Amino acid sequence: MKEHLKVLKKEAQFLLQDLRKGQWIDSGSQIQRDENYVYIPIRAEKVSEAKTHSYWEIVFMKPVPSKAKHLPKLAGGAFDLIGDIAITKIRERERALALATSLMETHPNIKSVYLDRGITGPYRLRDLELLSGEARAETQYRENGVLFRLDVSKVYFSPRLATERMFVSREVAEGEFIIDMFAGIGAFSLNIAKVQKARITAIDSNPDAIRFMKESIAMNRLLGSIEPLCGDSAEIISPLPEADRIIMNLPHESRLYLTKAIGKLKENGILHYYEILDMPGIEERMEEFRDLGLNILKKREVHGYSSTLTMYSLTASKSWE
């Protein structure tokens, strides 16, 4: 018998992407399925870490040996896949072009491959260069059963937070009022509204992000309601009622808005906070949270950002005890 991660089918696609990147999956065993669930074999050295994630259900199953055949190897290099558009950050031009050619030859679902040359401007947009395929940046993307429309040149979006968004959506209770302070195209908000009867105010300063958010809201059948608002979160939240939950996904600047967010959080309300930091930095931020009256419930490494920096998630409750 072997430990497997039990996942709903509708949530499996993007969780599998994260697990493969983190080298969690035992490639010697097959991923198994039934009518409702996918069962993912976990490598022995990852089992203890997997058990620390309260949302992951571990079950014991008889492993099925893998029948995977060796396929032609792709040109090396990491990339993000958003709908039918692939984006890579490889700086060596020959390697980037080789990856683009390889992706177009081996993945018929990919229609365009772009090079991300960095983030620029007040809306933190990707500076994109087309490497191969169609010269378009608008696409449709599905995540955790939610369909999104977006233009990767006009809004910033990261598919690497798919699992994080699923985790947050599972924590929400019916009837909550939620403020999504830096909503982008509404990825957190739509994930929540898809599965829970919550009321969400989703704020972003980028008009294109708000436009695509509204399109995505119209495309999905939602249990909850979302009110998109365009502008500066620090100003927009002032007249809003206190929230049961606030989401702060602005990893380079979240701290600038921290006291504003805390001021709009109900007693015992929940804060989901994201920031890119090194190890001393996250320890310092956790101490600051405690000084501000926040009780830290959970710290999670969402994904690596560089050799020394990591994107962290802090889940905290407001308490003056």
Q: What is the CATH number of the domain that holds 33?
A: 3.30.70.2580
- Pick the residue with more confidence: 66 or 291? 291
Residue 70: per-residue pLDDT:
37
Whether residues 180 and 88 fall in one domain: no
Name the least confident of 59-73, 101-115, 128-142, 271-285.
59-73
Say yes or no: 207 and 283 in one domain. Answer: yes
Number of domains in the chain: 3
| Residue 76 pLDDT grade (very low, low, confident, very high; cuts 50, 70, 90) | low
Query: pLDDT band for position 260 (50/70/90)?
Result: very high
- Of residues 78 and 245, more confidence is placed in 245
d(CA 254, CA 250): 5
293 and 176 in one domain?
yes
Q: What three-state secondary structure class fits 174?
A: coil
What does the pLDDT read at residue 21? 62
Per-residue pLDDT tens over the stretch 200-222:
999 999 999 999 999 999 999 99
The C-alpha atoms of residue 42 and residue 65 are separated, in whole angstroms, by 13
Confirm whether 72 is domain-assigned. Answer: no
164, 313: one domain: yes
Nearest to 226 by CA among 206, 198, 264: 198
Q: What is the mean pLDDT of residues 121-127?
A: 93
The reported pLDDT for the residue numbered 304 is: 85
pLDDT at residue 7, as a whole number = 87
Q: Do 166 and 247 belong to one domain?
A: yes
Asked whether residue 34 is domain-assigned, the answer is yes
Residues 170, 310, single domain; the answer is: yes
The phi, psi pair for 257, rounded to 5°, reads -110, 5
For residue 304, which of 273, 268, 276 has the smallest C-alpha distance? 276
Give the model's pLDDT for residue 51: 73
Pair 86, 181 in one domain: no
Residue range 96-115: mean pLDDT, rounded? 93
Determine the pLDDT at residue 73.
Answer: 46
Domain assignment of residue 29, yes or no? yes
For residues 115-139, give the mean pLDDT: 94
Quote the strand ranges of the chain, DSSP E: 2-8, 32-33, 37-41, 57-61, 80-82, 85-88, 112-120, 125-133, 138-143, 146-151, 177-180, 199-204, 225-230, 243-249, 265-277, 294-304, 310-318
- 175/299 same-domain check: yes
Same domain, residue pair 230 and 129: no
Percentage of residues of the chain with pLDDT beyond 90: 70
Going by pLDDT thresholds of 50, 70 and 90, the confidence category of residue 290 is: very high
Q: Average pLDDT, stretch 9-37?
A: 80
Domain that residue 25 falls in: 2-61
Residue 172 and residue 119 in one domain: no
Which of 19-23, 43-47, 223-227: highest mean pLDDT?
Answer: 223-227
Between 304 and 181, the higher pLDDT residue: 181
Are 87 and 128 part of one and the same domain?
A: yes
- Residue 145 resides in a domain: no
For residue 94, CA distances in Å to 100, 169, 257 come to 10, 41, 41
pLDDT band at 69 (very low <50, low <70, confident <90, very high): very low
Q: Would residue 126 count as lying in a domain?
A: yes
pLDDT band at 226 (very low <50, low <70, confident <90, very high): very high
Residue 71 has pLDDT above 70, yes or no: no
Q: Following CA atoms 20, 25, 26, 31 in sequence, which dihedral angle do they give, to the nearest 10 degrees? A: -100
For the segment 119-146, the average pLDDT, to the nearest whole number, is 94
Question: Is the domain of 241 the same as that of 104?
Answer: no
Position 54 pLDDT exceeds 70: no
